[in-house]
């Protein structure tokens, strides 16, 4: 079975531009979450969607937005890119909409975004 897949794997953008990152969850998983990992830090929660509805939002500016499609895939959009948005963006999927023992998050390999 395919795991969580993310595209593209790498991306270079210029300050002020817009970026769209894509994620396909594990088959059967209805929850998709997005995390940002900067160098030397652990992943930080950005958004969670479950059954196409936003379930949670982390402490990120409104330049960050996301959505989930009927097939449970998801997009993360970032507008007006800043140098500080350079990071590894991770998508994760899970069976459940909330944390439940024995239902861990499964992560993709991420999209490495570099803003110059």
**Residue (of 11, 17, 10) closest to 81 by Cα position:** 17
Q: Smallest distance, Å, CB 22 to other proteins?
A: 15
Residue that has been written with the tokens 């069976």 in this structure: 95
Q: Smallest distance, Å, CB 8 to other proteins?
A: 14
Q: Smallest distance, Å, CB 77 to other proteins?
A: 20
| C-beta closer to other proteins: residue 16 or 104 | 104
Residue that has been written with the tokens 């007006």 in this structure: 80
Long-range contacts of 56-63 (CB under 8 A, 24+ apart): 60/36
Write out the residues near other proteins by the rule CB under 8 A.
4, 31, 33, 35, 40-45, 48, 50, 55-56, 58, 90, 92, 94, 96-102, 104-110
């Amino acid at each position: 079975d395919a795991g969580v897949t993310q595209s593209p794997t790498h991306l270079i953008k210029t300050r002020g531009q817009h970026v769209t990152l894509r994620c396909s969850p594990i088959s059967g998983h209805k929850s998709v979450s997005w995390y940002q990992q900067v160098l030397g830090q652990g992943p930080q929660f950005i958004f969670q969607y479950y059954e196409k509805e936003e379930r949670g939002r982390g402490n990120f500016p409104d330049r960050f937005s996301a959505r989930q499609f009927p097939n449970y895939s998801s997009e993360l959009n970032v507008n007006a890119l800043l140098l500080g948005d350079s990071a590894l963006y991770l998508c994760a999927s899970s069976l459940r909409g909330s944390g439940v023992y024995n239902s861990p998050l499964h992560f993709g390999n991420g999209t490495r975004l570099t803003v110059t």
